[in-house]
Amino acid sequence: MPQPELSEEDLLQRAGRGDVRAFNQFQDAVAPRLFGLLRQMMPDGAVAEEALVDGFVQVWEHASGFDPAHGSAFTWAVTLVRQQAIERMRILGRRNRLVDAAVLEQAVLSAPAAEDLTDTRSAAVFAALKQLPKDQRRLIEIAFLKGLTGHVLSETLEQPIATVKTNICGGLFRFRDLLKGGE
Amino acid sequence: MDSHLEALAALNALGMLENDEKRALDGAIAREKDLRLLNSALEQTVAELGHLIAPVEPPADMKKRIRAKLRSRGAKTSTLSPGLLLGGLGWLLAVGLAVLSATLWQSRAKLTQQVAAASQAIAPVVGAASAEDDGNVRTLAEELKKLRDDFEAKQTALNQEVTTARASEKTAQGRITQLTAEVATLKEQSEQAAMKVLTLPASTVWEYRRGEMLVVWDRLRRQGVLMLDKMPKVESGRDYQLWIVDPQQPDPVSAGVVAVDAKGAAQIQFKPATAVNEASKFILSLEKKDGAAKREGEILISGP
């Protein structure tokens, strides 16, 4: 009997109760975006693949702790997988490496694709990000996609560390307010 | 709330903190509920950026690898076992209770669902065990290979660093030896170049007792300057003459005739007529006009 389409939140909650089928469906739903993030953070494809596998293992093991009242299943998974990837980068000593300018140019968060225009959340996030001053937006994009420490980001972009931190903090608080619907 | 901690929370949400900053923030989060909530909200905010990531097709064997890893971890952590065990226990309990109460029948039905869910969870793992064993072994072998490669790379890098450090040490030692030799040479030259300034004692000859004589002797260049003052006028057909006593030569070596002015003063540069190795004494004597080849006249002043 065909099942009604479940939301990502439903799937993750079911996975938290041990539902492997729901877990598989959740993987299908979010893996491409998670892998896209990991490929940005880790240029080595094999390392990124390992991080993706480990990330989903973490998702399975912690899914029972997911509470939809505190956020979406997707953002919950992004946080978990990204933190785990940063820890992996730290262990591999890749958080302290400067990043080439050519690589930085590719560290861009893009507008939702045409087929995703119905995804109102993506559109809202993009609209909020676009409202940030260019310097703040760029720093947040690079920080998010590259997983670097403040000092490495400062050296890579040849900007004073204080400027980097101020712009990121200011931009992130503003971004949060905009997502809440504020000005 | 402390603005510094707010800033740390923002940077933490992006994973930008250094280890010490992270520890400081974690400590504050444990104490302050507001900071904990802010940190959580900012993490949520950052994660929203994930909506704008360009998707990339994951590896085809992703699910297989996830299952293999879950299975290997399950052996240690029993991730799937609690549900199965609790479900099974609950099912047996429900069967017994169902006989006693229709209300409890619903509990049994619920627990049966849990058993089904748990069984479903374990089924793919158990069913595909043999197939996945290979995958599992391959995954472990890959991990082992990566660890080994990483270790070997680090070992090679370390060996290179040690070699470089040893070469640097050798170069530094050579440079120290060279500099030490240079310092010794300079010290010797400095000592050799030192000028001797000698004020000779007053004459024991009565007429010349007020005369003053000073010699500056350059040992390196073997030349000097003589200054005379308050010397009596030389009588006709005679001249003052300067001599240098070299302990290695039998006789004093002439350093030339000295003419004094009307006040009895003179300042001349002099060089010995023949080479001297060491000037142990200077003598001013009164010689025949234009000087003598060998000292013959009366010694007026000598010293030191």
> For residue range B72-98, what is the model confidence (pLDDT) as tens digits?
876 343 444 344 434 444 444 443 344
* Statement to judge: residues A18 and A70 lie in one domain: yes
**How does the average pLDDT of chain A come out, rounded?**
88
Q: Buried (b) or exposed (e) across B232-257, using 16+ Cβ within 10 A?
A: eebeeeebbbbbbbbeeeeebbbbbb
| Interface with B, mutate which of A17, A27, A78 (most B CBs under 10 A) | A78
Are residues B260 and B228 in contact, defined by beta-carbon separation less than 8 angstroms?
yes
- pLDDT of B117 reads 53
**Residue A183 Cα, gap to closest chain B Cα (Å):** 16
Please return the burial class of A88, using the count of CB atoms within 10 Å of its CB with bins 0-12, 13-18 and 19+: buried
Are residues B67 and B124 in contact, defined by beta-carbon separation less than 8 angstroms?
yes
Would residue B136 count as lying in a domain?
A: no
- The DSSP code sequence of B208-247 is GTT-EEEEEEETTTTEEEEEEESPPPPPTTEEEEEEEE-T
Instruction: Please give the structure tokens belonging to residue B91.
Output: 């099912």
How confident is residue B132, by pLDDT bands cut at 50, 70 and 90?
low
Closest CA to B84 of B69, B74, B76, B72: B74
Instruction: Please give the structure tokens belonging to residue A59.
Output: 């998702």
* Statement to judge: residues B298 and B230 lie in one domain: yes
Would residue B167 count as lying in a domain?
A: no
Number of independent structural domains in chain A:
2
* Statement to judge: residues A144 and A160 lie in one domain: yes
* Statement to judge: residues B112 and B37 lie in one domain: no
Q: What CATH number does residue B260 fall under?
A: 2.60.40
Minimum-distance CB partner of A53 among B53, B56, B62: B62
Please return the burial class of B68, using the count of CB atoms within 10 Å of its CB with bins 0-12, 13-18 and 19+: buried
- pLDDT of B133 reads 54
Please return the burial class of A6, using the count of CB atoms within 10 Å of its CB with bins 0-12, 13-18 and 19+: middle
| Interface with A, mutate which of B37, B45, B122 (most A CBs under 10 A) | B45
How confident is residue B124, by pLDDT bands cut at 50, 70 and 90?
very low
* Contacts for B82 with CB less than 8 Å, ≥ 6 apart: none
Task: Verify whether the Cβ–Cβ distance B57 to A83 is below 8 Å.
Answer: no
Across A110-124, B43-57, B144-158, the highest mean pLDDT is recorded for B43-57
* Statement to judge: residues A75 and A123 lie in one domain: no
Find where tokens 């509920």 sit.
B33
Would residue B185 count as lying in a domain?
A: no
Would residue B188 count as lying in a domain?
A: no
pLDDT in tens, B177-199: 788 788 777 776 666 666 778 88
Instruction: Please give the structure tokens belonging to residue B49.
Output: 């950026």
Task: Verify whether the Cβ–Cβ distance B50 to A165 is below 8 Å.
Answer: no
Are residues A52 and B58 in contact, defined by beta-carbon separation less than 8 angstroms?
yes
Instruction: Please give the structure tokens belonging to residue A78.
Output: 């992004």
* Mean pLDDT along residues A119-127: 86
Would residue B148 count as lying in a domain?
A: no
Which residue from A minimizes the CA distance to B15?
A147
Which residue from A minimizes the CA distance to B14?
A144
* Statement to judge: residues A5 and A75 lie in one domain: yes
Q: Of B111, B127, B143, which one is at a domain's C-terminal end?
A: B127
CA angle A38, A80, B116 (to 5 degrees): 110
Task: Verify whether the Cβ–Cβ distance B124 to A82 is below 8 Å.
Answer: no
- pLDDT of B137 reads 65
- pLDDT of A165 reads 93
- pLDDT of B75 reads 38
Would residue B153 count as lying in a domain?
A: no
* Mean pLDDT along residues B35-62: 93
* Contacts for B275 with CB less than 8 Å, ≥ 6 apart: B222
Minimum-distance CB partner of B47 among A27, A32, A78: A78
Q: What CATH number does residue A31 fall under?
A: 1.10.1740.10
* Statement to judge: residues A62 and A117 lie in one domain: no
DSSP secondary structure letter of residue B78: -
* Statement to judge: residues A45 and A131 lie in one domain: no
A32 is in which domain, residue-wise? 1-95
pLDDT in tens, B219-253: 888 888 999 998 888 888 889 999 999 988 889 99
Task: Verify whether the Cβ–Cβ distance A53 to B69 is below 8 Å.
Answer: yes
* Statement to judge: residues B84 and B115 lie in one domain: yes
Closest CA to B8 of B49, B51, B37, B39: B39
* Statement to judge: residues B17 and B103 lie in one domain: no
Distance between CA atoms of B67 and B135, rounded to whole angstroms? 9
B41 is in which domain, residue-wise? 3-52
Which residue from B minimizes the CA distance to A177?
B45
Are residues B200 and B304 in contact, defined by beta-carbon separation less than 8 angstroms?
yes
Residue B258 has pLDDT above 60, yes or no: yes
Q: Of B96, B112, B127, which one is at a domain's C-terminal end?
A: B127
Q: Of A95, A121, A149, which one is at a domain's C-terminal end?
A: A95
Distance between CA atoms of B15 and A86, rounded to whole angstroms? 7
**Residue B181 Cα, gap to closest chain A Cα (Å):** 44
* Statement to judge: residues B219 and B286 lie in one domain: yes
- pLDDT of B14 reads 93
* Statement to judge: residues A108 and A166 lie in one domain: yes
* Statement to judge: residues B10 and B108 lie in one domain: no
| Interface with B, mutate which of A47, A60, A129, A146 (most B CBs under 10 A) | A60
* Statement to judge: residues A70 and A110 lie in one domain: no
Which residue from A minimizes the CA distance to B50?
A78
User: How many contacts, defined by CB atoms under 8 Å, are there between A and B?
Assistant: 160
* Statement to judge: residues B297 and B246 lie in one domain: yes
How confident is residue B302, by pLDDT bands cut at 50, 70 and 90?
confident
How confident is residue B101, by pLDDT bands cut at 50, 70 and 90?
very low
* Statement to judge: residues A103 and A88 lie in one domain: no
Residues of B in contact with A56 (CB under 8 A): 62, 66
- pLDDT of A1 reads 47
Distance between CA atoms of B77 and B70, rounded to whole angstroms? 10
A93: left (phi over 0), alpha (psi -120 to 50) or beta: left
Between B71 and B76, name the one with better pLDDT. B71
Distance between CA atoms of B171 and B278, rounded to whole angstroms? 41
**Residue B120 Cα, gap to closest chain A Cα (Å):** 7
* Statement to judge: residues B235 and B289 lie in one domain: yes
* Statement to judge: residues B213 and B253 lie in one domain: yes
- pLDDT of B98 reads 42
- pLDDT of B161 reads 79
* Statement to judge: residues A124 and A175 lie in one domain: yes
Are residues B231 and B241 in contact, defined by beta-carbon separation less than 8 angstroms?
no
* Statement to judge: residues A108 and A87 lie in one domain: no
Residue B176 has pLDDT above 50, yes or no: yes
A160: left (phi over 0), alpha (psi -120 to 50) or beta: beta
Instruction: Please give the structure tokens belonging to residue B195.
Output: 């000028």
Number of independent structural domains in chain B:
3
Give the N- to C-terminal CA distance of chain B in Å, as an integer.
87
Q: What CATH number does residue A108 fall under?
A: 1.10.10.10
| Of the listed ranges A61-65, B254-258, B260-264, the one predicted with least confidence | B260-264
Residue A106 has pLDDT above 60, yes or no: yes
Residues of B in contact with A17 (CB under 8 A): 83, 114, 117
| Of the listed ranges A133-142, B51-60, B162-171, the one predicted with least confidence | B162-171
Residue A73 has pLDDT above 90, yes or no: yes
Would residue B172 count as lying in a domain?
A: no
Cis peptide before A112 (omega within 30 of 0): no
* Statement to judge: residues B46 and B86 lie in one domain: no
**How does the average pLDDT of chain B come out, rounded?**
78
Would residue B9 count as lying in a domain?
A: yes
Element (H, E) at B130: helix B129-193
Residue A118 has pLDDT above 60, yes or no: no
* Statement to judge: residues A147 and A160 lie in one domain: yes
DSSP strand pairing (B298-303 vs B281-288):
antiparallel
pLDDT in tens, A50-59: 999 999 999 9
Q: Of A95, A125, A151, which one is at a domain's C-terminal end?
A: A95
Closest CA to A144 of B12, B35, B7, B29: B12
* Statement to judge: residues B243 and B273 lie in one domain: yes
3-state secondary structure string across chain A: CCCCCCCHHHHHHHHHCCCHHHHHHHHHHHHHHHHHHHHHHCCCHHHHHHHHHHHHHHHHHHHHHCCHHHCCHHHHHHHHHHHHHHHHHHHCCCCCCCCCHHHHHCCCCCCCCHHHCCCHHHHHHHHHHHCCCHHHHHHHHHHHHHCCCHHHHHHHHCCCHHHHHHHHHHHHHHHHHHHCCCC
* pTM of the predicted protein model: 0.53
- pLDDT of A37 reads 95
Task: Verify whether the Cβ–Cβ distance B66 to A122 is below 8 Å.
Answer: no
- pLDDT of A117 reads 53
* Statement to judge: residues B203 and B296 lie in one domain: yes
Distance between CA atoms of A100 and A146, rounded to whole angstroms? 11
- pLDDT of B170 reads 79
Q: Of A79, A95, A111, which one is at a domain's C-terminal end?
A: A95
Residue A2 has pLDDT above 60, yes or no: no
Which residue from A minimizes the CA distance to B121?
A20
